[in-house]
Amino acid sequence: MATQFIGARIKALREQRGLSQDALAELFGFKDRQTVSAIETGERRVSAEELILAVEKLGASLDYFTDPFLLVGEGRFSWRQTDVRGVRLSAYERMAGRWIAAFRTIAPQVGIAAPLLRRSLGLHKRSTFEEAVEAGERFAADFDLGPAPAARLTAVMEDALHILVLNVDALDGISGAACRLPELDAVLINRAESLGRRHFDLAHELFHILTWDAMPPEHSEAATETGGSRVEQLANNFAAAVLMPSAALARFGDMAALEGDDLVAWLNSAANDLQVTATALKWRLVAMKRLGPGAARSIPDAALRHNGRPAPAGPPPPLFSKPFMAVLAQAIDQGRLSVRRAAGLLDLTVEDLADAFTAQGVQPPFEP
């Protein structure tokens, strides 16, 4: 177990208990708080005797300090949610943290090294909305996202940016999340959301990953495509430009003369092609001054629901992701992870775990 993990967990528990470093030093019998500080920053190792003392004095299990499949005092989350807070969100965050911690721990063991460098957008809280849009347009062009950027965005995030993207069964009201670790970035997407919503959430969380140091996001934010704090508005503008860049919109022709049902049909058709929501497309056109605000507000929400379809299109994507399941498969195959522990980690039966591998195109490393 890495020293910094134990130190971070001692710090998290100390803060949860409302103890100062001086108080913890006295509890452990250390001469000064500097020893506690060195432990919490990972500069000093914790002896076996001190670890047992931490279990006794802080009232935590040994697993709390040593289980590598936990995120405690390390990862920072930012959630997009509607009315999911407090105990419910904390409980789900602990579960999600286990998936991310498992990947963080296992990937290097099977030969997947953490990236040496992280990319950033170079934006800050004083950046204008126009600069956020320009950054989104440039991202779509630089990474050659093509005529329907949403279709390639996950692959670019995984392959070029080394971001772990997981499609998950989330609580009702949770749209997605971004997570920052010292050596890993991750994005969670609620796979029960509609295709267009999932793509917007993905691009929105990408903004947070690429600007985390310059403007750390709030732990919890409202899941909307407009409004919110200035940082959220910047994220929304960036996301809209990534998914609906000018070059991609140009191929649909001019819609300035359209109105009424013709305009609705154009919005729904273009949105389906771009794999975004028609509502997001509508407000993107308003921002580009190709559609007037009054005309946009006159379009009934019901006319754009599900992009004009009677129900959301297509089944949800399979659980988690191919890179994630491939890492688990290698770990099981190499004897680094038991089948039952893998199933328990994902809250699946052994049979459902086999199905999850197959759904991602990964050969199950065991006979169910």
Residue 21 neighbours by CB under 8 Å, 6+ apart? 14, 33, 36, 37, 40
Q: What is the mean predicted confidence (pLDDT) over 37-60?
A: 89
CA–centroid distance for 352 within its chain: 24
Maximum separation of any 2 CA atoms in the chain, in Å: 78
pLDDT 10s digits, 59-115: 888 888 888 898 887 889 999 999 898 899 999 999 999 999 999 999 999 999 888
Q: In this structure, what are the phi and psi dihedrals at residue 77, rounded to the nearest 5 degrees?
A: -105, 150
Q: What is the mean pLDDT of the chain?
A: 92
3-state SS assignment for residue 81:
strand
Measure the CA–CA gap between 198 and 175, rounded to whole angstroms: 8
Q: Which two tokens stand for residue 130?
A: 């126009």
pLDDT score of 212 more than 70: yes
Among 34-43, 140-149, 216-225, where is mean pLDDT lowest?
Answer: 216-225
Q: What pLDDT is stored for residue 287 in this prediction? A: 94
Confidence (pTM) = 0.91
pLDDT-derived band of residue 3, with 50, 70 and 90 as boundaries? Answer: low
Contact 1, 12 (CB under 8 A): no
> In the prediction, which pLDDT does 269 show?
96
The structural domains of the chain, ordered by start, are 3-66 (1.10.260.40), 111-160+191-316 (no CATH), 322-359 (no CATH)
pLDDT of 244: 98
Tokens 């970035």 belong to which residue? 185
